[in-house]
Amino acid sequence: MNNKKWRKALQPKAIALAAVMSVTSASAFAQNLPDLGVTSGDPWQADLYYENHTAGREGAGLSKFRNTLQSEMSKNLNDGWRFRGILRATYDGVYDLNDKEYGKNAGGAVNMTNGALAPATAYNAPVVYQNWAPGPFAGFGDPATAAWSNNGLKVLGSGWNNGTPNGLSFAVPVRPCEVDSRGCRDFGGYGDKKTSELAMPEFNDRLDFIREAYVTKTFGMDEGKSTFLKVGKQQVVWGRTDLFRVLDVINPVDYSRNNIYDELQDIRIPMWIAQAEYRMGGSETMQDRNLSVVWNFDKFRPNNLGQGGTPNSILDAGNFFRSMANCWDNGCTVGGFALADGAVGGFSTAFAPGTIGIHNVNLPNWSLDNTQLGMKFEGVTQEGLSFSLNALTYRSQLPSLRGMTKTGTLNPFRNDNQQGGGATGPLMNGAYLPLFEVVYPRVNLVGGSMDFQVESLGAAMRLEGAYTSGEEFANTLRPELYSKNNVWRSVIGFDRPTFVPFISTERTVLFSGQLFYQHIFNHEKEARPWGMSGMPDWENNVIGTLLMKAFLMNDRLSPEVIFARDFQAKANVIAPAVEWSATDNLKFKFGANVKFGTEQQNWQWSSAHAANALDPFTASTALGNSIAPLTDSGLGGVEPLGRFRAGPIGTAFGQNEIFATMRYKF
């Protein structure tokens, strides 16, 4: 790697430099800031931190070179009010230093899968399966144009699965959007970013460099009671458990920063929220009681799932979305779609623009109806048991893909305007082409949590559970390709300090374990002639984690290891690390995360593409009249729905990493 790239990566862009200078000034000149308090001797309090996170990924090289400046400040204001703020500026040089993998030179030419009777088909091949579509693309596109250029692409899922037997395959444009705009779409604050926006994600129209900016005040009342107010941009933490979000769903999460491997406090997306907490104090049966109301009045924002071509895209969702958006906007070649002569293996097929893919992203506009409201009662019993009862109405932070339905006769090689059908989708018999609208449905949640000590075990226990209604899941048994289902989620966790003599005879080792359980009510699945059909999400699933963390050298050296297993997906991760506090202000951490498992056959699921009544190339003739047209045969593979079965660990199989972080407090 040449020095020119390193100099470019280390040189801040103009906007980042300006922000970093303002952050630095907040600390260096804190004592000179205007005194907004009544008492002139009450100064600003400010701390400034710098962190570098560098990671290398197996098969990809450098996957992160993130430099972060963060300033935390607070100030007592007039009349008992207090202000707290956090500013954060990030610059990730990976897009310059490793541009062949993640930047302007990423990707290349790809081939689409075909059946055993034909060779692989190039993405922009001018001829597809001859018996179906003789000639070049039926006049809807020139393979020489930029939209059909076989360059800057990767095959969807190639980073995590071993191929898609009998399934579909799609190409994904993987370069930043100012270099290649194919498939770039706003999915709610992500999906359409250029290089500078990917490298410096806090600088956007939502002002994400403001991590926190809120004021608080406690109003005293009779009988020792009080009301606490907190208003501004903030994180609201309802949950008692780590990693898994059961109750802690008020703020969305930015998984593009480092997948699931950063602390939640660093990847929650702050929102403009008002909190009011009525503190009632104790009673005959309770040590303490509080009743709080939370109103998230910010404009809706979903989780950031990553953009196609970026290092981190949880569930490979960013790549899937970009591939589907590209198919709608520009047309695309789909591997394994057409069937013929009873062959189970499919042939590559070219589709016109406006035929398949993601047609629309329905992002809720700001309105009172689209704000989010929650209530929580929490208390501590005389015996020391802490608990909460929670209720929340909110918009799902995960997208739902709703299949779109039209009637008529489908010609996949001509667009709607050519058929006189308008511009809203293809004319078709049935709804089994991959044609979607992205929506974020309204969800209602009720649940609770508790934690308590188990003295006989010397451990602390944590319990959390939530029941939701209104969530939507992919479902190939339904013509609309989704269903609404109620869901129960729960976590049980324990923390126990234990002496491990061969590690230390003076300090205990912390053992912290969790079991996360999810059950989907009215789950639908059926065995069909060629595989399983219905809901790819598991009806019941359990994910377990175990943390072992030691404290040595007067707590300056802290080795740890984290194990996690997705039991249904049979996917595992192990993450060893060691943290060293060189001084009170300088800290280093070195580690790795390695994923493993061999159950990819367990992830295959129907794609429903054989049910679209394009006789004789799909259901009725190609499958020997074993099922009726417009009925899902179960024919599929790992793509595209297997990602819901593989889960966040399985879809990261190609992302084994080693990393080093350095954090300094000025």
Residues 41-50 have a mean pLDDT of 88
Q: What pLDDT sits at residue 162?
A: 72
3-class DSSP state of 297: coil
Comparing 600 with 120, which gets the higher pLDDT?
Answer: 600
| DSSP E strands, 347-457 | 347-351, 357-361, 372-381, 386-395, 400-403, 435-439, 442-454
Q: Is the peptide bond prior to 616 cis by the omega test (within 30 degrees of 0)? A: yes
Backbone angles phi, psi at 75, to 5 degrees: -160, 130
**Residue 629 banded pLDDT, cuts 50, 70, 90:** low
Q: What pLDDT sits at residue 223?
A: 85
Q: What angle do CA 7, 13, 15 make, to 5 degrees?
A: 165
**Residue 412 banded pLDDT, cuts 50, 70, 90:** very low
Comparing 146 with 567, which gets the higher pLDDT?
Answer: 567
Residues 557-561 have a mean pLDDT of 96
At 497-553, the pLDDT tens digits run: 999 988 888 899 999 999 999 999 999 999 887 788 999 999 999 999 999 999 999
Q: What angle do CA 67, 70, 75 make, to 5 degrees?
A: 175
Convert 535-566 to b/e letters by CB count within 10 Å (16 or more is b).
Answer: bbbbbebebebebbbbbbeeeeebbbebebbb
Q: What pLDDT sits at residue 181?
A: 95
| Integer Cα distance of 296 and 292 in angstroms | 13
Residue 421 has pLDDT above 60, yes or no: no
Residues 421-434 have a mean pLDDT of 40
Q: What pLDDT sits at residue 145?
A: 65
Contact by Cβ (8 Å): 564, 576:
no
Residues 579-590 have a mean pLDDT of 97
Q: What pLDDT sits at residue 433?
A: 63
Per 3-state DSSP, the chain is made up of helix, strand and coil in percentages (nearest 5) of 15, 40, 45
| Integer Cα distance of 552 and 509 in angstroms | 10
Q: Considering the chain, what is the average pLDDT of its residues? A: 83
AA identity, residue 294: V
**Residue 588 banded pLDDT, cuts 50, 70, 90:** very high
Q: What pLDDT sits at residue 331?
A: 84
Residue 382 has pLDDT above 60, yes or no: yes
At 478-505, the pLDDT tens digits run: 888 899 999 999 999 999 999 998 888 8
**Which of 142-146, 483-487, 552-556 has maximum average pLDDT?**
483-487
Q: What percentage of the chain reaches a pLDDT higher than 70? A: 79
| Integer Cα distance of 364 and 370 in angstroms | 7
Contact by Cβ (8 Å): 114, 336:
yes
DSSP 430: B
Residue 410 has pLDDT above 50, yes or no: no
Q: What pLDDT sits at residue 438?
A: 94
Residue 7 has pLDDT above 70, yes or no: no
Residues 292-296 have a mean pLDDT of 98
Residues 171-186 have a mean pLDDT of 95
At 75-114, the pLDDT tens digits run: 999 999 999 999 999 999 999 999 999 999 999 998 887 6
At 224-267, the pLDDT tens digits run: 899 999 999 999 999 887 778 899 999 999 999 999 889 899 99
| Integer Cα distance of 461 and 463 in angstroms | 7
Min mean pLDDT across 331-340, 346-355, 363-372, 628-637 is at 628-637
Q: What pLDDT sits at residue 21?
A: 39
- With 0-12 / 13-18 / 19 or more C-beta atoms within 10 angstroms meaning exposed / middle / buried, residue 420 is exposed
Q: What pLDDT sits at residue 663?
A: 98
Residue 135 has pLDDT above 50, yes or no: no
Radius of gyration of the chain (CA): 27
3-class DSSP state of 25: helix
Q: What pLDDT sits at residue 244?
A: 80
What secondary structure, in 3-state letters, does 99-149 show?
CCCCCCCCCECCEECCCCCCCCEECCCCCCCCCCCCCCHHHCCCCCCHHHC
Which pair of tokens denotes residue 622? 């190609």
Residue 628 has pLDDT above 80, yes or no: no
Q: What pLDDT sits at residue 194?
A: 96
| Integer Cα distance of 169 and 149 in angstroms | 17
**CB atoms near residue 569 (< 10 Å):** 24
At 385-406, the pLDDT tens digits run: 999 999 999 999 999 999 875 4
Tallying the residues shown for the chain, one arrives at 666
3-class DSSP state of 247: coil
Residue 339 has pLDDT above 70, yes or no: no
Residues 415-419 have a mean pLDDT of 33
**Residue 431 banded pLDDT, cuts 50, 70, 90:** very low
Convert 440-470 to b/e letters by CB count within 10 Å (16 or more is b).
Answer: bbebebebbbbbbeeeeeebebbbbbbbbeb
Q: What pLDDT sits at residue 498?
A: 93
